[in-house]
Amino acid sequence: MKPNILMGRYELGRLLGQGAFAKVYYARNLKTGESVAIKVMDREKIVKIGMMEQTKREISVMRLVRHSNIVRLYEVMASKSKIYFVMEYVKGGELFNQVVAKGTLKEEEARKYFQQLISAVDFCHSRGVYHRDLKPENVLLDDNGDMKVSDFGLCALPEQFRQDGLLHTTCGTPAYVAPEVITDKGYGGAEADIWSCGVILFVLLAGYLPFQDANLMVMYKKIYKGDYKCPAWFSSEVRRLVLRLLDPDPRTRITVPQLMEDPWFRRGFKPPQALIDDVDVGLLLDDVDSASCVPKPACLNAFDIISLSPGFNLSGLFRDEVEKHEEKSRFTSIQPASSIVSRLEEIARLFRFSFKKSKDCKVKLRGSQQGRKGHLSIDFEIFEVTPSLFLVELHKTSGDTLEYSKFCSQDLRPGLKDIVWTWDGNSS
C-alpha cells in the first residue's frame, strides 16, 4: 500500500482513537523521523455544530500551557475540509487503562501521578486556563511512566467568566464534576478542577468511583452531599486529604497552595519544570483565524511591488539597491503561507528559538541563548503577491550581526531550501 502522506510532511499510520468530532492517528515526521499524534477534525462538521470558537480556544490554550506533564501541541495545519493538530505522541496509553489492568495502584505510585496531575493543573491555573474535564481517560502515560494531561476541548479562559466572577456552562463528565457545577448557580474553574483531581485520586487508590449510581439524578444527589465512603485500605493521611478534596463546599475545599503543604502530598515531591517560552499571551489568543485556522498574509498591490522593484521581472523584487544590506533579506515561495509559517516554527524548535506568530503572518524568532549583543531576534513578514506566490521579508531586530549571518547561512537557508523558489534573486 502507498503511504498516506499529509501535507508532504507527515506519514499517517494507524488509528489511535476517535471521538464524535475527531480521529487521532499515529504519524511520523518525514524530515526528522519523530513520532507524533495527529488529531484530524472535519471542518464542515465543526462549523455546522458551532464548535469553531471552541476549537480556536483549544489551539490557543495548548500553546499557552507548555509543561512537562501536559501533552504538547507542535503545530496546526488545515486544508479546505480538515483541521489537523500535530501533537506529542504519548504511547503509554490512558491512565484509565492502568487502573483497569491493576484494579488499584499502590499508594506511592498513585501519589506520583497525583503530584504530576496537580503540577500540571496548577500551571494551567497560573495561565488562566481551567480544564473542566479532568478524568483518567484524559490523562496519558509516556515511556517513563510519567503522566500528561490531554484534551482541552472543554477548557475555559478568563474571558468566559461572567460579571459575578464565575463560570456558568455545565460541562464535564458526570462522575467527575463538582457539586457547584451541577447546581447551575455559577462556579470557580480552579475549585471545580480540584474536585475532579480528588475524584481521580480516589479512583487510583480504590479502583472505583466515589460517586456512582445507575440513576444519574441519584448520583448527582450523592455528589451534592459529598456522600461517599473510603475503602478500609486507605491510610489515615489519604482519608484526611480526600475529605478536603471532596468537600462539597468550594469555599472550604482545599486549594493548590494548601495541597502543596500537605505532608502526604509533599512526600518525595519533585516539582517538574514548565517548558516556558518567551510567549506573548495576547498574540497566541489571536493565533487562529475564526473562519479557517489558516494564517492570512497581507496582499501586495501594484504600488507595493513597484516600491520593491525598479522593473517588472520577478527577480527584481530583490534589487532594492538603496535598502539592501546584510541584516535584511527576502525570498519568494510558491508554498501556502501556512506551510511557510509551519516551517519557520519547525526551525525554531530545532534550533531552540522561541516562536511567535500573528494571524496576519508576522513571525518572530528569538534565540534562547544570549550572544555578544543579547538574544538574536529575527522578524519575518509574509506577503501575498498572487494567490500562488508569496514574498517573505526578514530582518534582524536584535543581537549580533555575525551571529545573524551565521544562523542564516548555516541553519535558516538550508532549513528553508525545499520551500524557497527564489532568494535574493537567485534560483533555489
What's the per-residue H, E or C state across 174-229?
Answer: HHHCCHHHHCCCCECHHHHHHHHHHHHHHHHHHCCCCCCCCCHHHHHHHHHHCCCC
Nearest CA among 336, 341, 356, 352 for reference residue 421 = 336
The DSSP bridge pattern shows strands 422-423 and 362-371 to be unpaired
Q: Tell me whether residue 133 is one of the annotated catalytic residues.
A: yes
Contacts with 54 (C-beta within 8 Å, 6 or more apart), sequence order: 153, 154
Q: Which residue among the candidates 42, 122, 133, 213 is catalytic per the annotation?
A: 133
Which cell numbers hold the place of 9?
A: 510532511
* 65 in Cβ contact with 121 (< 8 Å): no
111: DSSP letter: H
| The residue type at 356 | K
User: How long a stretch of residues is the chain?
Assistant: 428
Dist. CA 281–CA 79, nearest whole Å: 26
Quote the strand ranges of 278-373, DSSP E. Answer: 298-299, 328-333, 353-357, 362-371
Cell of 390: 508569496
**Cβ-count burial 259-295 (b if 16+ within 10 Å, e if not):** beebebbeeebeebebeebeeeeebbbebbeeebbbb
What is the greatest pairwise CA distance in the chain? 85
By annotation, the residues acting in catalysis are 133
